[in-house]
């Protein structure tokens, strides 16, 4: 195993992108940046009073700062999963397809288990597991399992499948499978979010996997841009071109309201809110337009960020090198601080032991703080996380060859 992890995402320490012996840090910087941004949304879930009342993208009730606090976090999941595909390609550069396939399959199964039993516990603090929130780690795991099969196909066929899943899945928006049985659950896993109760357990499917599989497969195909020996200028030009084209295509399709997102935009009470309506694309599942407006800027970022680290980007890259560690610890710390926040607000600490998602908990009715407090808690969280992530990053890079299990963290 490599002792570095530039190609990893969420939980995938893989071989770094190297050109002529030099490490390319842009992948770590991008991943670290969106991880920092991601924490805003999770802190908001546990601390913002309005999170218990309405969606931040509900234009009839939201404010501009609240909408933007939510919108900016839209970039996190597609970039995570796209970079996981890039990572898969890089990991397979000096390995056989069989080795890569096994790693992706085992990594995917591990992430599914981690979502169900580790992330769920950190989000709920409830060891009885009455509620499973199937989100990005779970979806990433399923995508990796599928990619472990797709990699045996011709690269052009993989790219075709990826583009079809990303661009065409919105044709299925009008298809619904009613009920709460297995067929409905299966369709929910593929395309339509939903909540299902099986016995004493509630499963909330937030990340239907069809488009996410396409995003990861696209990352795998574009991973060849980071292969050893690939011309750096050509790579940067290609990424810049893809980013600009994605944004232009987004604007044209969004203006037309013809295809790409079931939630059409419309003129609102003010020009500012009309712009918010234009940006208010669908994440569950990620519409074609959502993918364009999130991955497009990501491509441009990768093109422009390919330069030596400075004081700040070096710190951001630390977060990007230990993504799963960051993800697990940040949920634990957020929930722990939320317990303190609840006690401070006059609630019992037991009210933060959840049986449903936090903003649906009847015991926490009336709980929460303003948006400024959310950002204060977010800043404290990052200050606490940085030395923890830096120490773990150093430990992992020093001991990865000795402890193979570190490749799964």
pLDDT higher than threshold 80 for residue 9: no
pLDDT given for residue 406 in this prediction: 79
The string over 32-66, giving b where at least 16 C-beta atoms fall within 10 Å of a residue's C-beta and e elsewhere, is: bbbbbbbbbbbbbbbbbebbbeeebbebeebeeeb
| Residue ranges per structural domain of the chain | 18-408
Considering the entire predicted model, what is its pTM? Answer: 0.93
- Strand ranges in 92-218 using DSSP code E only, listed in sequence order: 131-134, 194-198, 201-205
- Give the contacts of 327 (CB within 8 A, at least 6 positions apart): 10, 11, 35, 119, 137
276-297 pLDDT, tens digit each:
999 999 999 999 999 999 999 9
Dihedral sign of CA atoms 115, 73, 313, 242 in order: positive
Which stretch of DSSP H or E encloses residue 373? helix 371-399
d(CA 229, CA 192): 42
What would the two tokens of residue 344 be? 């401070």
Which of these ranges, 15-19, 77-81, 103-107, 297-301, has the smallest mean pLDDT? 15-19
Joined together, the tokens standing for residue 82 give: 């796209």
Unique residue bearing structure tokens 């409905």:
184
The string of pLDDT tens digits covering residues 344-370 is 999 999 999 999 999 999 999 999 999
pLDDT of 144-177, one tens digit each? Answer: 999 999 999 999 999 999 999 999 999 999 999 9
Return the axis-axis angle of helices 136-150 and 76-91, rounded to nearest 10°: 30
Q: What is the pLDDT of residues 211-246, one digit of tens each?
A: 999 999 999 999 999 998 899 999 999 999 999 999
Q: Which residue carries 């879930």 as its tokens?
A: 45
Find out whether 131 and 356 touch, Cβ atoms under 8 Å: yes
Q: What pLDDT, in 10s, does the model give residues 168-203?
A: 999 999 999 998 889 999 999 999 999 999 988 999
What pLDDT was estimated at residue 340?
98
| Strand 194-198, strand 201-205: pairing | antiparallel
Nearest to 355 by CA among 347, 346, 366, 364: 364
pLDDT band of residue 17 (cuts 50, 70, 90) is very low
Running DSSP on this structure, what letter comes out for residue 15?
Answer: P
Using an 8 Å Cβ cutoff, are 303 and 17 in contact? no
Residue 242 neighbours by CB under 8 Å, 6+ apart: 222, 296, 299
Average pLDDT of every residue of the chain: 92
Higher pLDDT, 40 or 403: 40
| Among 80, 141, 46, residue whose Cα is nearest residue 286 | 80
Query: What pLDDT is attached to residue 15?
Result: 40
86 neighbors 27 (Cβ within 8 angstroms): yes
pLDDT tens readout for residues 54-78: 999 999 999 999 999 999 999 999 9
CA distance 338 to 47: 7
Q: Which two tokens stand for residue 201?
A: 């357990």
Residue 21 — pLDDT band, cuts 50, 70, 90? Answer: very low
Q: Which pLDDT belongs to residue 23?
A: 53
Q: Tell me, what's the pLDDT at 208? A: 97
Q: What is the pLDDT of residues 108-150, one digit of tens each?
A: 999 999 999 999 999 999 999 999 999 999 999 999 999 999 9
Q: Which residues of 374-401 are buried (b: 16+ CB within 10 A; e: fewer)?
A: bbebbeebbeebbebbeebbeebbeebe
pLDDT above 50: residue 11: no
pLDDT of 266 reads: 97
- Predicted pLDDT at 20: 38
């Amino acid at each position: 195993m490599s002792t570095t992890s530039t190609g990893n995402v969420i939980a995938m320490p893989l071989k770094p992108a190297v050109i002529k012996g030099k490490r390319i840090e842009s992948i770590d910087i991008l991943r670290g940046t969106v991880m920092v941004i991601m924490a805003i949304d999770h802190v908001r879930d546990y601390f913002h009073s309005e999170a218990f009342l309405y969606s931040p993208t509900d234009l009839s009730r939201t404010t501009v700062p609240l909408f933007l606090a939510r919108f900016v976090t839209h970039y996190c999941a597609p970039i995570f999963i796209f970079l996981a595909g890039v990572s898969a390609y890089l990991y397979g550069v000096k390995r056989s397809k069989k080795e890569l396939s096994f790693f992706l399959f085992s990594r995917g199964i591990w992430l599914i288990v981690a979502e169900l039993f580790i992330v769920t516990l950190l989000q709920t603090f409830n060891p009885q597991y009455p509620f499973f929130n199937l989100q990005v780690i779970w979806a990433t795991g399923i995508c990796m399992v599928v990619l472990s099969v797709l990699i045996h196909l011709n690269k052009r066929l993989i790219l075709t499948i990826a583009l079809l899943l990303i661009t065409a899945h919105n044709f299925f928006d009008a298809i619904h499978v009613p009920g709460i049985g297995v067929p409905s659950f299966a369709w929910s896993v593929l395309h339509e979010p939903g909540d299902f109760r099986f016995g004493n357990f509630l499963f909330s499917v937030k990340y239907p996997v069809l488009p996410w599989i396409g995003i990861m497969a696209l990352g795998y195909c574009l991973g060849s841009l980071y292969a050893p020996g690939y011309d750096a200028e050509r790579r940067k030009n290609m990424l810049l071109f893809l980013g600009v084209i994605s944004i232009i295509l987004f604007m044209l399709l969004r203006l037309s309201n013809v295809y790409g997102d079931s939630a059409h935009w419309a003129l609102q009470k003010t020009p500012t809110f009309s712009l918010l309506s234009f940006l208010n694309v669908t994440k569950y599942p990620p519409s074609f337009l959502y993918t364009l407006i999130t991955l497009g800027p990501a491509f441009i970022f990768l093109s422009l960020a390919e330069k030596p680290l400075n004081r700040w980007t070096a710190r951001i890259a630390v977060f990007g090198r230990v993504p799963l560690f960051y993800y697990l610890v940040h949920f634990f710390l957020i929930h722990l601080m939320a317990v303190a926040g609840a006690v401070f607000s006059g609630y019992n600490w037991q009210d933060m032991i959840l049986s449903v998602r936090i903003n649906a908990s009847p015991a926490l009715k009336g709980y929460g703080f303003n948006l400024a407090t959310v950002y204060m808690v977010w800043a404290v969280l990052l200050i606490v996380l940085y030395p923890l992530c830096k120490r773990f990053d150093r430990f992992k890079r020093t001991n990865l060859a000795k402890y193979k299990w570190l490749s799964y963290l």
